[in-house]
Amino acid sequence: METSQVLLVFFGGLVPMAAVAFALGRRKALMSDASGSRMHSLPAQYGVYVATWMALPALAIGIVAAAVALLGLQVPPAPFVLSFALFGAAVGLMLALRKVEPTLRARNAIEKFVYWTLFSASLVSILTTFGIIISILFEALKFFSQVSVWDFVTGTNWSPVATFRPGQEAADSQFGSVPLFAGTFMITLVAMLVAIPVGLLSAIYMSEYASYRIRTLAKPVLEILAGIPTVVYGFFAAITVSPLVVEVADFFGLHASYTNALAPGMVMGIMIIPFISSLSDDVINSIPNSLREGAYALGATKSETIKQIILPAAFPGIMAASLLGISRALGETMIVVMAAGLRPNLTWNPLEDMTTVTVRIVDALTGDQAFDSPETLAAFALGLVLFVVTLTLNLISIIIIRKFRQSYE
Amino acid sequence: MSQGITLAPSRRLKKRYRAEQRFKAYCIAALLLALAFLVVFFSDMIRQGYSAFVQTEIKVDVTYDEDTIKFTNESVTEEVSPLISRAFYRTIPRQVEANPDLMNTTQTRWLTATAHVDQYRKGYSDRLDPELKATLDRLDSEGRVSYGFNSGLFFSGDSKIPSNAGLWSAFVGSFYVMIVVLVVSFPIGVATAIYLEEFAPDNRFTQAIEININNLAAVPSILFGLLGLAIFINFFGVPRSSALAGGLTLSLMTLPVIIISTRAALKAVPQNIRQGAQAVGASRWQAIRDHVLPLSLPGILTGTIIGIAQAIGETAPLLLIGMIAYIPDAPTSMTEAATVLPAQIYTWSGMPEGAYVSLTAAGILVLLSLLITLNATAVILRNRFERRW
């Protein structure tokens, strides 16, 4: 039997059996009620209790069988698993039915079960983080067993030699990551030079100057920028903005590459504007009015109040917003994959083509490389650095925002 | 002396007011800049993409007989033959099979022209053979050339022939991915939010979960792709490029969005509701299930729709799990190789033929209208059903 068929039989059998178990439990409770002894919970709750105890052993057996198969220990034969699950369900059903007595607190038992279900759901997010760490770490460690960490961190030459067969030697490969990070930081810098001033000033306008009407109109329109898929920004940067940059540079007598770092940087900056503006807007709005009124009472104009009172008070929040923006820019992929270059290039000139960490990750993992080739593993090493850097930035900004909220609440 | 006292402050005051005006102007300029970009962006996409919604069609006589089934490009006159898209000739044997009455007849049909002809007529490129140009101009003067709605853009799959390429398989792939995301992330997300908002004790562990969720919302999407590749595909053996692998990966990305918005929706329900229910004998869970959840449902659904819209527009993690394969036929199951709308757009944007530029822009317009519809639904849902307390 195929896996999908086994799953179909398993769950297709479980549902009607649960219905039967529910009916049995409820009937026993009703009969017991009718015979005069008062039950602790409602009859339906006994039904749910019995059905849960019937389903749980079956599910547990199914999960164990799946785990055994996945870990590669042995593939248990499907009929064996199914009949074993059926047996578990029958035992569970019998024991639970026998326990249906007036003294059984079925409602409390169900609610305890609900509580633990909700609790285990909340563990999924923790598991996701662990999943990311583990999936990156193992491959990255394999990479660092072949290439020294020092060469990776300080080397200025990134030229992996393609290996298409597993185990093939790639002795001439160089994995100096400095040019990749230089490109990433250059594009992030350009993006921030666009996003922070525009985002912050729009936030100030919307929270301090704009009328209610303009505010309710402009805010969702700005949010549209955040909703545009990055692949669309990438196309826009590559097809429209890059040629424009080249033309403008030509006009000033400069030479610009068609995969220059400026175009993806600017477009990325525009994408990040709403992140900065909506977070700064929240922060500025949470500054108590008494601060503003105090400044006005001393004769300050509105802009003086903003520059000398509001912005310093909101500074931690704005800082946090900018850090989140930077973290987003560092990890942004599609815009740079489509509009930035592939050539690792160590330069200060944003008109030249530069490549980024994310571009190299995508390039290494979408080609025909053998999975254990150094270049593929290098993608995971780059991913590890990216994860550590963005995690640090995110954590700092999350903590700043939490502290900030507490101080004004 | 007295004049000096009155003049000095007023000059300074003027300066301060000018600074005030300037600052306000900067703020307005920043906002206008962002809005102007939006206008430029949308008009650019429409300018590049609108032409792909129509295609050049040519009216020709098609002959169906024994010879033309074998040598299909002989089914039309030799002169017109190179103007017609190859995609049509391929379908001739199938047409006859489906409708045997066609055999040994000649039908007058409007047929899709090649991408070269289409590009030439739309004014994008001039690289059409002069002889073909002359033929085309003659047909045009006879009224046998016109534009028809490009239904293939919506109803056919990807193709290496630009005039035949469409979004259908990407639609199906996106639909499957959406189903997986919904089935996985909605229950887990809502359950997590209920736990954190209603049950969790305020201790270190809960705080760790909260910070972790906030961090996950800001982790670069490409790292989720690495997770999908290493865990779902390499460890759990989910088929590469499948809608299932893509959906599971995107589910983990969507989870924080759903959790955060569900928590906000639960928080908006006043404590009185819970206390009222508990006062008449409901347990904590019953109060949540019967009162808090129904009241916060509009907010929860709004957040879910926004999360789904984000997932539909996501590309980067899907590149890593191989969802950029060439998929001409729509997948029929979750485990088959599939592509999604943004991945299709990415594939087309990398094609060398000029015709794919307007196809890409048209695909973008379709994707954006889909996302705008979803988000508008979410906003309407919130405005109609959300209760203010």
Quick one: B122 and B173 in the same domain? no
Distance CA A57, CA A63 (A): 10
Establish if A127 touches chain B: CB-CB under 8 angstroms.
Answer: no
The CB density around residue B294, as the number of other CB atoms within 10 Å, is: 11
* Residue-averaged pLDDT of chain A: 87
> CATH 1.10.3720.10: which residues of chain A?
174-407
* pTM for this predicted structure: 0.88
Q: Same structural domain for residues B206 and B249?
A: yes
pLDDT at B54: 87
Q: Is there a domain that residue B357 lies in?
A: yes
Question: Domain range for residue B143?
Answer: 56-150
Poorest-pLDDT segment among A198-207, A249-258, A270-279, B176-185:
A249-258
List alpha helices for chain B, DSSP H: 2-49, 66-70, 86-98, 115-122, 130-141, 152-155, 168-194, 204-216, 221-227, 243-268, 271-279, 284-287, 293-313, 316-320, 341-349, 355-385
**Are B246 and B331 within one domain?**
yes
Residues B242 and B366 in one domain: yes
CA angle B379, B209, A116 (to 5 degrees): 95
Mean pLDDT estimate for chain B: 88
Q: Does B254 fall in a domain?
A: yes
A301 to chain B: closest CA residue: B20
Contact across the interface for B213 and A125, Cβ inside 8 Å: yes
CB atoms within 10 A of CB A117: 13
Residue of B nearest to A321 (CA): B218
A398: nearest CB among B19, B215, B226: B215
The distance in angstroms from the start CA to the end CA of chain B is 63
Final residue belonging to a domain, choices B123, B150, B177? B150
For residues B38-55, average pLDDT: 90
Contact present, B379 and B149 (Cβ < 8 Å): no
For A159, phi then psi, to 5°, come to -145, 80
Integer Cα distance of B41 and A240 in angstroms:
9
**Average pLDDT value for residue range B39-65:** 88
Q: What whole-number distance in Å separates Cα of residue B84 and Cα of residue B70?
A: 17
Q: Is residue B33 part of a domain?
A: no
Residues B291 and B329 in one domain: yes
The SS3 assignment for A293 reads helix
Statement to judge: residues B309 and B184 lie in one domain = yes
Q: What is the DSSP letter of B107?
A: E
Q: What is the mean pLDDT of residues B332-336?
A: 85
Closest by Cβ to A126, choosing from B191, B212, B322: B212
Q: How far is B198 from chain A (nearest CA, A)?
A: 10
On whether both B245 and B207 belong to a single domain, the answer is yes
Place of tokens 């609610």: A111
Mean pLDDT of B10-32: 91
Contact between residue A301 and residue A356 where contact means Cβ atoms under 8 Å apart? no
Q: What is the pLDDT of residues A23-82, one digit of tens each?
A: 888 888 888 888 877 888 888 888 889 899 888 988 898 888 888 877 766 777 888 888
Q: Cβ–Cβ of A361/B211 closer than 8 Å?
A: no
Q: How far apart are CA B271 and CA B75, in angstroms?
A: 76
Which H or E run contains A317?
helix A311-331
Same domain, B175 and B122: no
- B255 to chain A: which residues are within 8 Å by CB? 124-125, 128
Domain-embedded: residue B21: no
Same domain, B125 and B212: no
Give the distance from residue B315's alpha carbon to the nearest chain A alpha carbon, in angstroms: 7
With bands split at pLDDT 50, 70 and 90, how would you rate the model's confidence at A148? Answer: confident
Please, which pLDDT band fits residue B188 given cuts at 50, 70 and 90?
A: very high
- Strands A174-175 vs A158-159: parallel, antiparallel or unpaired: antiparallel
Question: B122 and B205 share a domain?
Answer: no
Residue A158 or A188, more confident: A188
Determine, yes or no, domain membership for B27: no
Q: Do A337 and B220 touch (CB under 8 A)?
A: no
Looking at the structure of chain B, the number of domains it has is: 2
Query: Which residue among B150, B183, B205 closes a domain?
Result: B150
Q: Specify burial of residue A397 (Cβ count, 10 A radius: 0-12, 13-18, 19+).
A: buried
* Interface-testing mutation among B16, B31, B33, B255, with chain A (most A C-beta atoms within 10 A): B31
| Domain assignment present for B96 | yes
Q: What is the pLDDT of residue A296?
A: 94
- Is the torsion defined by CA of B281, B284, B290, B292 positive or negative? positive
Q: Give the orientation angle of helix A178-204 with respect to helix A311-331, to 10 degrees.
A: 140
Dist CA A20 CA B68 (whole Å): 64
Q: Is A171 helix (H, G, I), strand (E, B) or coil?
A: coil
Q: Are residues B97 and B237 in the same domain?
A: no
Test B34 with A222 for CB contact under 8 angstroms: yes
B204 and B268 inside one domain: yes
Instruction: Quote the pLDDT of residue B1.
Output: 46
Of B186, B196, B191, B298, the C-alpha closest to B250 is B186
Assign B366 a pLDDT band (cuts: 50, 70, 90): very high
Buried residues in A211-238 as b, exposed as e (16+ CB within 10 A)? eeeeeeebbeebebbebbbbbbbbbbbb
- Check residue B7 and give its pLDDT: 59
Q: Is residue B241 domain-resident?
A: yes
CB contact under 8 A, A136 and B223: yes
- What is the amino acid identity at position A76? P
Query: B220–A328: do the CB atoms touch at under 8 Å?
Result: yes
Using the beta-carbon criterion (under 8 Å), do B188 and A121 form an inter-chain contact?
A: yes
Query: Is residue B101, in this structure, part of any structural domain at all?
Result: yes
Flag whether pLDDT at A260 surpasses 50. yes
Per-residue pLDDT at B247 exceeds 80: yes
Break chain A down into helix, strand, coil percent, rounded to 5. 75, 0, 20
Give the domain CATH number at B370.
Answer: 1.10.3720.10
Question: In the CATH hierarchy, which top-level class contains the domain A174-407?
Answer: mainly alpha
Classified as helix, coil or strand, B105 is: strand
